[in-house]
A = this chain, B = another copy of it.
Amino acid sequence: MFESADLSHHVPKAVFKREETKLREALLDAQFDLAAQRRFAVLILIAGVEGAGKGETVNLLNEWMDPRHIGVRAFFQPTDEERERPDAWRFWRALPPKGRIGVFFGAWHTMPMVRRALGETTEAEFAQAIGDIRRLETMLCDEGVLLLKYWFHMSKKQQKQRLKALEKNEATRWRVTEHEWTFHEMYDRFVGVSEPFLRETSTGEAPWIVIPGADPRFRALTFGRHLLAALRERLDEKPAKQVPDKTPPLLAPADKVTVLSALDLDQPLDRDDYDKELETLQGRLNALVRDPRFKEMAVVAVFEGNDSAGKGGAIRRVTGALDARSYQTVSIAAPSEEERAQPYLWRFWRHLPGRGQVAIFDRSWYGRVLVERVEGFCAEADWMRAYGEINDFEEAMVRHRIVVVKFWLAISKAEQLKRFKQREKVAFKRFKITPEDWRNREKWDRYETAICDMVDRTSTALAPWTLVEANNKLFARIKVLRTFCEAIEAAMETTGKKRKKKG
């Protein structure tokens, strides 16, 4: 893996100067084209052994490139805000949009390797981390990100020579501390871990590129030339490959019995009972979010449903029980320009709640497998892979002690017609009904298929769907509130149990 990098490389100063000038010009051109095209984002990962020139390369990038279209992020200790979210959150928030270059100095690869090298994780846990990284990176590539991963390498001998040379020179002595020598002693252990890591996270679309780090000029040229070639290749679009769409079909059941058809949408509940239950449940919910244990968790609630199924009303009954400082409602409509420049899930990751907070999504990431699928806004391959990506996303939340509750509010086609007509009659409700609602209604059957597939493919033990019979609004609201409370209670119990076990 490091055969070439371990060789003695050298570029004379004069050659470097000449090449560097050409390279800088070409890189700026590429950067300009990237910004003008705005077709894809570039994400550069900088990693490698100590002293092999990672920092110098980042500095070089800042010097070479137009700073308006490049952003460098170094990841060290997570901030408080970051610690409250799943690990991947801080990487998501730092992703470059289309047209820009993002440089991650130490990213998702750092901790798994360090922990393995220190013996804090087993081989199987290390393999698990590698699997997670492959899935994350595959997703980024599928979303069109040009992912370039550079590994800066030097041999143990070269590292020692470098440290000694730095120590000898008055001007650079300060750069060598105990810390550097400790790292040097750990060289074999670290490289022993990074070798399988590089191997197993190198895919056809995102292979690691090893950069020999010992000679600064060779290093800079090698890195710069590769970056330029990779940018140019994507900017100039190599002839596209014709690939057949390989996703197998999903079919509706032969007997038409579906999770939706099996629901009895008309559930009785009269106003008096409703009022009583509402009060009890809102009180229960309020007590739950003020429970000290709630400070160690968070809730993400997803509301999806047919048009006019009563999502808004149900959400208001939930938020009515909450303190305004403890929740946020996120209405998902068409994505903004900023959001369209990012991978699909970006606009949902950004709204993940911190500890003790509730985030309520009025429509959600399920848009991809519902409206985008039915309307043909994305290719079949894209919504097919979305099921897995969504499950991974929700698993990341649940692993981080975020309770995920998901509601599908279901009404019958006849009930919807009644409500649409009512809305058109009542002046202050008229804004709620648009020609688009009528158009969606025509695609009722196709939506039903999409909904059933969604439930089958994303209702998991960690984050189950709750189907809510919603022809009777009162019943629906009560079922939502009760499920909400029960989900929080169940999570509190699990946490309690875990603590007991530890104690």
Contacts and interface: CB of A to CB of B under 8 A. Distances in A.
Nearest to A208: B457
Given A11-B255, A125-B124, A207 B248 contact: yes
Of the candidates A19, A195, A203, the one having the most CB atoms from chain B within 10 angstroms of its own CB is A203
Contact of A387 (B131, B207, B251): B207
Contacts of A124: 122, 124-125, 127-128
Contact of A255 (B218, B237, B240): B218
Contact of A452 (B2, B4, B19, B253): B4
A457 B243 contact: no
Contacts of A209: 248, 250
Given A7-B257, A128-B127, A134-B131, A459 B1 contact: yes
A387 B202 contact: yes
Kindly state the interface size class of chain A when it binds its partner: 35 or more
A264 to B, nearest CB: 13
A254 B222 contact: yes
A78 interface: no
Interface string A245-282: 11111110111011100100000000000000000000
B241 A9 contact: no
Q: How many copies does the complex hold?
A: 2
A419 interface: no
Interface string A220-247: 0110011001100110011111111111
A1 B460 contact: yes
A388 interface: yes
A313 B202 CA distance: 35
Contacts of A2: 456
A254 B1 contact: no
Interface stretch (A338-346, A378-386, A424-432): A378-386
B461 A195 contact: yes
A245 B262 CA distance: 46
A241 B238 contact: no
A65 interface: no
A227 B82 CA distance: 46
B241 A243 contact: yes
A178 interface: no
Interface in A177-207: 192, 195-196, 199-200, 202-207
A233 B248 contact: yes
Contacts of A93: none
A459 B248 contact: no
A491 interface: no
Contact of A241 (B146, B205, B244, B386): B244
Contacts of A233: 248-249
Contact of A4 (B234, B259, B461): B259
A382 B262 CA distance: 46
Contacts of A234: 244, 246
A130 interface: yes
Interface in A289-303: none
Given A200-B388, A230-B248, 7 more contacts: A4-B452, A122-B122, A124-B127, A128-B131, A204-B387, A239-B245, A241-B381
8 contacts: A3-B459, A146-B246, A196-B461, A199-B391, A204-B385, A212-B253, A233-B249, A240-B243
Closest 3 CB pairs of A and B: A204-B385, A131-B131, A204-B384
Interface of A: 1-5, 7-11, 19, 122, 124-125, 127-128, 130-131, 134, 141, 146, 148, 192, 195-196, 199-200, 202-207, 209-210, 212, 218, 221-222, 225-226, 229-230, 233-234, 237-251, 253-255, 257-259, 262, 379, 381-382, 384-388, 391, 452, 455-457, 459-462, 465
